[in-house]
Amino acid sequence: MSKVIAVISGKGGVGKTTTTANVGLGIAMNMKQCVVVDFDIGQRNLDMILGLENRVVYDMVQVMDGEATLEQALIRSKANRNLFFLPASQTKDKSVLESAKIEELLKELRQKFEYVILDAPAGIESGFEHTIEFADSAIIVVNPEVSSIRDSDRAIGILDSKSKRVKDGGEVEKQLIINRIDPDMVEKGEMLSSEDILDILNIELLGLVPEDKGVIDASNQGQPIILNEKSEAGKAYKRISKRLCGQKVPIVQPKAKSKGIVGKLKGLFS
């Protein structure tokens, strides 16, 4: 049975689109048929992170309007044959989205893929509401900072009131990814800990992704960080993807860097 997952954040710049790209590819690497859909109408960044910007011909709006078929618009990933991408339109705005057309599009995607991952736009306006409307579950991406958590809490509130599943008397499964964790700052009390964030949001933890400078470089090159065997962030996305595929994988807490001999000596005499 297929599953539609909305990746949301509330606040922009927390790594939501990066998460979508890496989790989608990770699911495909676990031998599951997966499609990632860019719902950020007018912006479109998911194609660049996947390295597929030069292969976009048709977009999701053209499919919904009957100007192109789904097969014409879907783009197969260069990194894994199990992953497909459906781009957003760069020439339209969020006002073109209509619930009936979105529902029909998702129905068609459900028939073709085991996992349908929707990359929601930043903010909590109409584009966000259309992304969550027909989702079975949601991944909430936050950074360990108060503004990110506050905005995500508002996004969760909208999810719990405006999704079709909730209106029909059901519940949308919610899971949390804490992104860009700097364990040294957490240790010094300069950054919120995972426990603090979980206490505030009170939802299931899906994974912890450490700060990794290689993520930006990987995104610029169109090579998701999950493909980098040495990257700690890449390893975290692999674990998250396995959990989404039903595997039991322990949560790994990012570790603070070793202080080294100089730091240890300072600690002894301070």
29-38, 137-146, 236-245, 260-269, range with the lowest pLDDT:
260-269
Of 189, 187, 173, nearest in space to 243 by CA:
173
Model pLDDT for residues 46-68, shown as the tens digit of each residue? 999 999 999 999 999 999 999 99
Mean pLDDT of the chain: 92
Query: How much is the pLDDT for 44?
Result: 83
Query: How much is the pLDDT for 129?
Result: 93
Helical segments of 65-140, H only: 70-73, 99-112, 126-132
Angle, vertex CA 152, rays to CA 125 and CA 198, nearest 5: 165
9-13, 157-161, 183-187, 241-245, range with the lowest pLDDT:
9-13
Q: Which residues form the domain of 186?
A: 3-269
pLDDT at 269 exceeding the cut of 50? no
Structurally, the chain folds into a number of domains equal to 1
Residues 6+ apart with CB under 8 A from 119: 7, 16, 17, 20, 36, 37, 38, 39, 40, 46, 131
Model pLDDT for residues 227-251, shown as the tens digit of each residue? 999 999 999 999 999 999 999 999 9
Buried b (16+ CB within 10 A) or exposed e, 118-135: bbbbbebeebbbbbbbbb
- How far apart are the C-alpha atoms of 59 and 54, rounded to whole Å? 13
Query: How much is the pLDDT for 270?
Result: 38
Q: What is the DSSP letter of 5?
A: E
- How far apart are the C-alpha atoms of 45 and 36, rounded to whole Å? 12
Query: How much is the pLDDT for 59?
Result: 95
Q: What's the token pair of residue 176?
A: 């949390």
Model pLDDT for residues 180-228, shown as the tens digit of each residue? 999 999 999 999 999 999 999 999 999 999 999 999 999 999 999 999 9
Domain with residue 253: its CATH number is: 3.40.50.300
| Percent of residues, the chain, with pLDDT higher than 70 | 95
